[in-house]
Chains A and B, each alone.
Chain A
């Protein structure tokens, strides 16, 4: 039995709803449960699962309405439906100021009136409301970490200009990660403090950088996120430049790193000019751009792990052997894997939860003259016609807007990535699946465990066809993350997954495998 319940004008955040759905799904007699906002994308997914046929309330639900979808034994479904409100009663962790009897403030201004020493607003409301809340935060004297996406460039420019006038910074919109005063904001790993500062728009890029710096024995002074569009010419790098200014003046920062995707031409010129006159050593990594000469104390990196290595060197620290890459070993591993595959296995499928890691993998492939399709293509790579279906060799960013509209990011909720992995496992032409696993605060308590069943299923399906599916992965995280880096790596290795110490190395391995597959195809002709 399937049933949908619509609660009009009930707002809950998507992470809270996912936890509610998980608790309901664990009830005896319930086989499937979803609790989502009634966005068009969510209704489409539910309809494809067989929910809501002929249900007018479901068809008319909107992004401000809650949809609860249940499948299971009729008695169990009816029991949950009858108690829907109590399932949705608040209860995600301790309320603000545990021990205080005060109700939570309803506005930013009320919150600041209660705590005049508040300094940073973290805003993750739906995009259409985000600029309003960010403006209120700036006017209350707060720096803004703006996780929400779907904020217009016009609003972004206005917010950042207002922030600059007030001596504040807006990190975002679409800012995934920051490290401020020892605190990790958004998706952030547990890293020790140290001499290396980083600024830039890349959420998972910053996580990978911070984790590698930690694994190498050093630490971060601060990490200033800027939002994915900051270095476009429309915004002109306002937050990036403010971040550079602050890190240059910060006594705890010895080395400054800028990690970004390719900026607009004007913004890049301003950025390089500013870095040229930086008083501290700088590492600049613009993923997917060809290296161009930079003056002063700027060193160039083409991958995130190279940026971390150069930053450590500039701070007078070495790069451990455990993180180093031996191209000969990558090639040998690829030869061993490809040798076990059937002739029709020729495609690589990268299923990324980290957008920057998807971008970096494409940059690595492009440098080797290899093409992939992607829903977030680098210049020169083809756009994937249907993001939900791979075609040829494909790198898909599952954190892209189309996959997260009204539902949690794949780092939190693995459902869509698991289904996509099932799909790839059924395709006899798939040779290699590349996966990233991101640990840290907010992320799933067991990112590897979420996908292991699907990974084993895909491997079995390939074996039944007489072939061998190669699974390659990297894990972004530290020993201090609650998921435990070593625990996650071990679980992958035990399942026969090849685990590489950095995302760039995992992509470089796939590059070697793809070159071998291409050579094999050529030899067969």
Chain B
């Protein structure tokens, strides 16, 4: 469900963290809810192949 920017500023955000885990860890330590994505480069790091697969799916 989309939360508009104005609502976001007044509410308490819930985060999805993709990449550097320390960013999520620090927010979690500050008491925020964070869902960590277990990310690895798509299609073995081949950006063009990943884009091709995105188009197919």
Contact = CB atoms under 8 A, between A and B. Distances in A.
Interface of A: 9, 11, 13-16, 62-64, 92-97, 103-108, 110-112, 114-126, 128-129, 132-133, 137, 141-143, 147-148, 166-169, 180-186, 221-222, 242-243, 245-247, 249-253, 441-442
Contacts of A252: 9-10
Nearest to A239: B5
Contact of A125 (B2, B5, B19, B51): B19
Q: Closest 10 interchain pairs by CB? A: A124-B19, A64-B45, A104-B38, A96-B36, A441-B26, A93-B25, A141-B2, A124-B20, A13-B20, A125-B19
Given A16-B21, A112-B16, A120 B8 contact: yes
Interface size class of B (residues with CB under 8 A): 35 or more
Contacts of A11: 39-41, 45
A461 to B, nearest CB: 35
Main secondary structure of the interface of A (DSSP, over half): loop
Contact of B4 (A62, A123, A167, A185): A167
Given A11-B41, A64-B41, A120 B16 contact: yes
A13 B8 contact: no
A147 B17 CA distance: 11
Contacts of B2: 141, 166-168
Interface string B1-27: 111111011111111111111111111
Contacts of B42: 129, 132
A86 to B, nearest CB: 18
Contact of B27 (A116, A143, A183): A183
Contacts of A185: 23, 27
Contacts of B15: 118-122, 183
B37 A108 contact: yes
A309 B39 CA distance: 42
Contacts of A92: 21-22, 25
A108 B35 CA distance: 9
Pick the most buried of B4, B10, B35, B47: most chain A CB atoms within 10 A of its CB: B35
Contacts of B38: 103-106
A15 B20 contact: yes
Contacts of A180: 8-9, 13
